[in-house]
Structure 1
Amino acid sequence: MKPEGISELQHLNDPTQRFTQKTGHNSEESPRRREQCHHYPKDPQLEVNFYTGTDEDSDIAFQFRLHFGHPAIMNSRVFGIWRYEEKCYYLPFEDGKPFELCIYVRHKEYKVMVNGQRIYNFAHRFPPASVKMLQVLRDISLTRVLISD
């Protein structure tokens, strides 16, 4: 039995994944003194992993990690070692509103789109055919996942 949030993939040529944010985060200011913070919350609020094996210790061909209000981070993990992070600063998310996240697997890259807008192209670090498992984690409600050829 697979842990919750994990699906095995037969193969991955041109998948589209769609996600909806679970709940909005309170954007109202506290009446107390406003403090400036530049650190991320401990855990991301959205994480998508494309694994090359069928367990969480496998290499990760592509990871999309998001702390709302901060840049998205994309990376891969090889033999347990994270490679160079790539950051995307343009994120058309609106606090508390549903969104559509699409990750297309193209010939040379993953094309990441939010609400129909391209936000980033992440060059393949593993052959796309090596992906065997998709994992979606954190503070979201998943309404649909599409994997198509």
Structure 2
Amino acid sequence: MRVEFTIEGPPVGKARPRVTRTGTFNPPKSDQYEKLVRYTAINSFNGCFELDVPLDVKIVAYFEIPKSWSKKRKTRCLANQELPIKTPDADNIAKIILDGMNPDKKRNKQLKKMVELMRGIYRDDRQVTKLAVVKRYAERPRVEVRIKRDMGD
């Protein structure tokens, strides 16, 4: 089984959680992007990977080429001769994409346990045994995600 989907728009990295007197929470930008990832993933895949299946995930983040750059430099970027060494970091891109594919859960105070609000692609991102994150330039900014069962090659 193989799942592929694209999140349109510039790549966003996972921001550090904010800690207050009342608790810990994700910044709104990270939270919204995770919801966009979850929504896009669920709409492209009408199922869920089983609990004990190891997964291979490849994430390709495409950044927009700055408009101020020369035609020569833009051509080099599109030919992958110049790569984006800018924020967000590859590990933060991976964190937000993997967390976005988890089920959305919230603590229910009456039941004193976590309750699933929206399903995800898999039960937990600990199933990911192989991960590749690639950063490239392109005309249209986006993030492409491919998930398949890891066969241990």
Q: TM-score range by the shorter chain?
A: under 0.3
Normalized per residue, the structure richer in strand is: 1
Bigger radius of gyration, 1 or 2? 2
Normalized per residue, the structure richer in helix is: 2
- What is the TM-score when the length of structure 2 is the normalising length? 0.25
